[in-house]
Structure 1
Amino acid sequence: MISYAPFWKTLKRKKITTYILREKYHISPSILTRMKNNEYLNMRTVEDFCKILNCRLEDIAEYIPDE
């Protein structure tokens, strides 16, 4: 499973709100909802987040193996 928990930590660390993502960077609320639910995002979206947040891929998502 892919978890976007690192994304939320990165947002907090960078002091960027979801409001800023929506208004300044035109990130769709549905993308943020999918991230909250750990649902699929295409790599282009993940890359966009890396650029916006000036961070690495592992600051956005992590793989959690099934047990």
Structure 2
Amino acid sequence: MAVRYEKLFHLLDERKITTRELEKLAGYSGNITTRMRRNEYISLESIEKICMTLGCCVDDIIDFTNEN
């Protein structure tokens, strides 16, 4: 199973928030953004920070697929 973060990037576009702004607001490094752009796994702690900052749920920012 693979993880995809397109929902997150669409949400950021809708809210006119850059990834750099989100990094600062949520308190995580640019490395996490790079991993998300590559659809790689990130820690649950980072996902929690993003959701708390954006006021959303996990399923608002992440999709799980059967692709590898």
Length-normalised TM-score, structure 2:
0.84
Q: Write the distance in 1 (CA, Å) between the matches of 2:5 and 2:61.
A: 6
1:1-67 → structure 2 map (5 Å cutoff): 1-66=2-67
- Tell me the distance in 2 between the aligned counterparts of 1:13 and 1:55: 14
Identity %: 31
RMSD: 1.6
| Structure 1 residue ranges without an equivalent (≥5) | none
Structure 2 residue ranges without an equivalent (≥5) = none
The number of residues matched between the two structures is 67
| Range moving further from structure 2, 24-33 or 2-11 | 24-33
